[in-house]
Structure 1
Amino acid sequence: KSFKITEDNDFEEVEEEAPTRGGGSCAVDPALYSMLKDLRKKLSKKLEVPPYVIFQDPSLEAMATIYPVTLDELQNIPGVGAGKAKRYGEEFCKLIKRHCEENEIERPEDLRVRTVANKSKMKVAIIQAIDRKVALDDIALSKGIDFGELLDEVEAIVYSGTKLNIDYFLEEIMDEDHMLDIYDYFKESTTDKIDDALDELGDDFTEEEVRLVRIKFISEMAN
């Protein structure tokens, strides 16, 4: 079963920008950022998962910019859904709160909850289709988006902490040994970057396959 692979576009998601205050105080707090990275490292050792499975770097940067101190506020951070906030958020919030108190940092008042009604409609539809085991290329067709865009959406869903089982699709399009090679690569790797994976795995593997297996990996490890 073949499907046309299109270029992987990075769509800047406008509503994911951290709210700025009057003076645009949107610089990353380097001390806090490095403490958050240390905490992530400690947790990743304890839970035996790669650090990026817990939170990705851009999420930590956003935390060190807008200082969320409750689990609700944490969910304003790009890449942090309710599942992730509940699972890992507590210690991160405590650390940020303590840092703000010790350094008398005034937090931005308006941690606005993002309004993402349309976007989440699409996500809900994708989650439901995957639950019904609809082939991913068919989901993309029915939503009128290309396959790369669908993978962007699915990645955002699993990285935010929602579990998705795409095994039914992987079994249909991928050789099992191939899939296991990629899965094992991510288990050992310190980065989830696709280019690094492709360099390491070699020419037999396509970007598409690597992205699909990474979705399975993140869903199973993190969620």
Structure 2
Amino acid sequence: MGREFLDLFEEWAGTYDDTVTGIDPQYRAVFANYNKILDEVVKNSEGTVLEFGVGTGNLTEKIMDAGHEVIGIEPSQAMLDIASEKYPELTLLEGDFITFPEVDAVETIVSTYAFHHLTDSEKEIAVAQFADILPPNGKIVFGDTMFQSEDIKQKMINEASEKEYTDLAEDLQREYYTTLEVMQNIFKNNNFNVTFKQMNEFVWLVVAEKTSEER
């Protein structure tokens, strides 16, 4: 359920905002167009928004600025503390993509840089739960690292190793980065129409809309 990465979340809490600005060259390409990625998620969001992996609240702020009510889910206490201090008015709940408190009606579920912490089978479980929560035409909007194929994923690992980007190479092998084909099948299996838009070398914008009828 991604909780095996909690130590990583706690470690990143204090430096995450610096990392997304490109200070660390290892992750510069991963976070290229970071604000544009967040803006695209917001642009595709409607109604009340349920955000998974609130982190330090960068996406949350943009969603609230756009006039949406936000309910935030976050497993890391360190991240929760930062987001709570920034946005005391925000409804923040402890949880993860699969295990989280019951929430009121929402129209959009969003997340950035987090869904890859689930295995492919856990991703399927999560999307099935989201399908139960969302109304017809409700949306899932994610910005996350994934690859067009396993061969491309391996190529990126090899390039990171050649550049001596040790942390990045380890991340790409340790975490559960999947392929577009797998993601497309997961959404199709749960009655979503899905589109993908590449935002940088690593990150794709995923917009999935729940169909009104079961297939």
TM-score (norm: length of structure 2): 0.24
Q: Which has the larger radius of gyration?
A: 1
The answer to which structure has the higher helix fraction is: 1
Q: TM-score, normalised by structure 1?
A: 0.24
